[in-house]
Structure 1
Amino acid sequence: MLVLAFDTATAAITVALYEWTPGEGAVPRGSAEAVDRRRHTELLTPSVASVMAEAGAAPEDLSAIAVGVGPGPYTGLRVGLVTARAMGEALSVPVHGVRTLDVIAWATGRDEPFAVATDARRKEVYWARYHSYRTRATEPAVGPPSDVLDGAPRGLPVVGEGAALYSETLGDGDHEPLLPTAGALAELTVARLAGLKGPDLLPPEPLYLRRPDAKEPGPRKKVTPA
């Protein structure tokens, strides 16, 4: 099973190719990482091509595609989702969505409770709490950083870029990983496809949690003749 994974729901443009075999489990075949909030469209497709070339794999070799579904800003998030759906349709392979917060949680490997917070702009964060890296305790939400710890156990660790940005509210300490990696996304997806415990795989539909900043223009105002 060869799984191509990528996520564009944050500032990271991250791509990875993993192969799963019964004897070896998930084995990385290639990866590419970049951080640029404004160049998701420019960087994603070349990164996918580079990773496939690095592994000596052709698109026809893929068994599945995994993509981060957010939550995240509208513009970056839709780049990954549109690309994943287009590739899935062209190659006739399944496309699996994974919550980006779950990807970050999975990468921690933590077995004790913690929370994940990413940057939502407008002085807010996207966040969720977890029992462990495999099990989420709350649904993803968006709001001020203080919401993350409201009603939570005292001293709950918080990881992610949002935690680092608002450390005065969410606490100092180790906030790594700050951003999602496609390696963790691929590992999570392969684990679930192999029947192991972990977060649910979803349809490749965006999880925005709030309306996009961009708005459709209203009707033109009538001009009264002078």
Structure 2
Amino acid sequence: MPILAMDTATMVSSVAVADDKRLLAELIVENKLTHSETLLPNVEQVLKLAGVKREDLAAIAVSMGPGSFTGLRIGLAAAKAIAYGLNIPLVGIPTIEGLAWHYPVPGVTVAGFIDAQKGNVYTSHYCWNGSGFDEIKSIEVLSLAEAVDACVKVAGPVVAVGDMVAKKLVKLDNLPKNLIVPPKHMLMPRAANIAMAGLNRLAAGQMDNIMDMEPIYIRKSEAEVLWEKRQQALANDAAGKDAK
């Protein structure tokens, strides 16, 4: 039975349909249009290309982040709505785990470099175990330099993935000898990867609860940070007036 997969964690919008035997269809788009404009039309198109009716879907898989706050919310909202409407399982896949599926190679560590703003990256490390990926370094926010330094400490080759690789990493001098920078087409998020990871989890009997499923944000959004600063300033101002 086919699975529908979506990845909207970055500027790339990707949708795919696959089953346990093959990838049936995939769309990958990176342009100035927003995910709210492209996601559902792309879902309809990829289902048509795959020759799969919506009611024939067996499950939904979606990239859970970290990444763009808006993109994650749009992707998860769409995934939840479709899964709920069709009464089928929903599986969330961490964005960096999805990227790791580019490189299911024994002995190779995949390191994420996803833009976390202000010169920081979301990073975690994954290794292929023969049938799926194990997270060997938990996700966290580090400066780009700290994330690179974490790769130095890994024994064996490390493949860098994520949007910050093309944006910043390739411009750095003296990268660690064990850190491999792939070509751009092997850095892009792919819904096909999310589908493979989702099928792997479903085969193990794993699925998420639609009602309490949330994106992996890691840090607060800029709007939340500014709101908290504003509230603290108002509180300090009120306290100052009370003191007078």
State the TM-score bracket (shorter-chain normalisation): 0.7 to 0.9
Partner SS state of residue 85, structure 2: helix
TM-score (ref. length: structure 1): 0.83
Distance in 1 separating the partners of 2:117 and 2:30: 16
Where in structure 1 are there 5+ consecutive unaligned residues? 222-226
Q: Deviations over 1:42-91 (max 9, x none)?
A: 01000000001112221110100000000012111100000001111111
Partner of 1:98: 93
Farther-moved stretch of structure 1 (50-59 vs 130-139) = 130-139
TM-score (ref. length: structure 2): 0.77
- Aligned partner of 2:162 among 151, 160, 163: 160
Farther-moved stretch of structure 1 (119-128 vs 209-218) = 209-218
Partner of 2:181: 174
Distance in 2 separating the partners of 1:109 and 1:128: 16
Report deviation, 1:108. Answer: 1.6
Distance in 1 separating the partners of 2:46 and 2:96: 24
Q: After the TM superposition, which residues 80-95 of structure 1 pair with which residues of structure 2 at under 5 Å, given as runs?
A: 80-95=75-90
Partner SS state of residue 187, structure 2: coil
Distance in 2 separating the partners of 1:58 and 1:36: 27
Partner of 1:134: 133
Partner SS state of residue 113, structure 2: strand
Q: After the TM superposition, which residues 112-151 of structure 1 pair with which residues of structure 2 at under 5 Å, given as runs?
A: 112-132=108-128, 134-151=133-150
Distance in 2 separating the partners of 1:77 and 1:70: 6
From the superposition, tell whether residues 147 and 170 of structure 1 become closer, same or farther in structure 2 (CA, over 3 Å).
farther
Report deviation, 1:139. Answer: 1.2
Partner SS state of residue 153, structure 1: coil
Amino acid across the alignment from 1:14:
S
Where in structure 2 are there 5+ consecutive unaligned residues? 235-244
From the superposition, tell whether residues 156 and 59 of structure 1 become closer, same or farther in structure 2 (CA, over 3 Å).
closer
User: Given the alignment of the two structures, is residue 211 of structure 1 paired with residue 220 of structure 2, yes or no?
Assistant: yes
From the superposition, tell whether residues 37 and 213 of structure 1 become closer, same or farther in structure 2 (CA, over 3 Å).
farther
Distance in 1 separating the partners of 2:194 and 2:40: 18
Measured on the aligned residues, the alpha-carbon RMSD in Å equals 2.6
Q: Give the structure with the higher percent helix.
A: 2
From the superposition, tell whether residues 82 and 113 of structure 1 become closer, same or farther in structure 2 (CA, over 3 Å).
same
Report deviation, 1:31. Answer: 1.2
